[in-house]
Amino acid sequence: MDKNFTPMLIGKESEAFDSDDYIFELKMDGIRCLAFIENKKVDLRNKRNLKLLAKFPEMKDLGQYVRADCILDGELYCFHDGIIDFTMVQKRALLNHPFKIQIESNRSKAVFTAFDILFYKNQDVTNLTLLKRKELLQECVNETRHFNRSRYIFKEGIAFYHKAEELNLEGIVAKRIDSIYQVNTKTQNWIKIKYLKDDDFVIVGYIEKKQHISLILAQYDQNELVYIGQVITSLQNLPKVKHSHIPLFDIKNAIWFTPYLAARVKFMERYDNGSLRQPVFVDFIYDKDIKDCQIKLIKNYDKLDLVDS
Which residues are at the interface with another protein (CB under 8 A)?
25-26, 28, 77, 79, 81-82, 84, 96-99, 102-103, 106-109, 111, 113, 143, 145, 148, 150-153, 156, 159-160, 163-164, 167, 304, 306-308
Distance from the first to the final alpha carbon of the chain = 47
Minimum distance, C-beta of residue 171 to another protein, in the bound complex (Å): 13
Tell me the C-alpha distance between 137 and 31, whole Å: 20
Kindly tell me which of 127 and 144 has the beta carbon lying closer to another protein. 144
The strand ranges marked E within 27-77 are 31-38, 41-46, 70-77
Q: Which residues pair with 79 in a beta bridge?
A: 84
Are 60 and 98 a contacting pair, CB within 8 Å?
no
Minimum distance, C-beta of residue 65 to another protein, in the bound complex (Å): 13
Are 242 and 257 a contacting pair, CB within 8 Å?
yes
Tell me the C-alpha distance between 161 and 195, whole Å: 8
Kindly tell me which of 172 and 216 has the beta carbon lying closer to another protein. 172
Tell me the C-alpha distance between 277 and 269, whole Å: 5
Q: How many CB atoms within 10 Å of residue 100?
A: 11
Kindly tell me which of 111 and 263 has the beta carbon lying closer to another protein. 111
Minimum distance, C-beta of residue 162 to another protein, in the bound complex (Å): 10
CB half-sphere exposure, 260, CA atoms < 13 A: 7
Kindly tell me which of 115 and 267 has the beta carbon lying closer to another protein. 115
Minimum distance, C-beta of residue 152 to another protein, in the bound complex (Å): 7
Kindly tell me which of 52 and 191 has the beta carbon lying closer to another protein. 52
Minimum distance, C-beta of residue 287 to another protein, in the bound complex (Å): 37
Tell me the C-alpha distance between 77 and 75, whole Å: 6
Minimum distance, C-beta of residue 123 to another protein, in the bound complex (Å): 27
Q: What single string gives the DSSP state of each residue in 109-121?
A: --EEEEEEEEEET
Are 141 and 114 a contacting pair, CB within 8 Å?
yes
Are 27 and 170 a contacting pair, CB within 8 Å?
yes
Nearest partner of 79 among 44, 109, 53, 114, judged by Cα:
109
Give the three-class secondary structure for 167: coil
Minimum distance, C-beta of residue 55 to another protein, in the bound complex (Å): 9
Kindly tell me which of 113 and 189 has the beta carbon lying closer to another protein. 113
Minimum distance, C-beta of residue 254 to another protein, in the bound complex (Å): 19
Kindly tell me which of 13 and 81 has the beta carbon lying closer to another protein. 81
Kindly tell me which of 235 and 304 has the beta carbon lying closer to another protein. 304
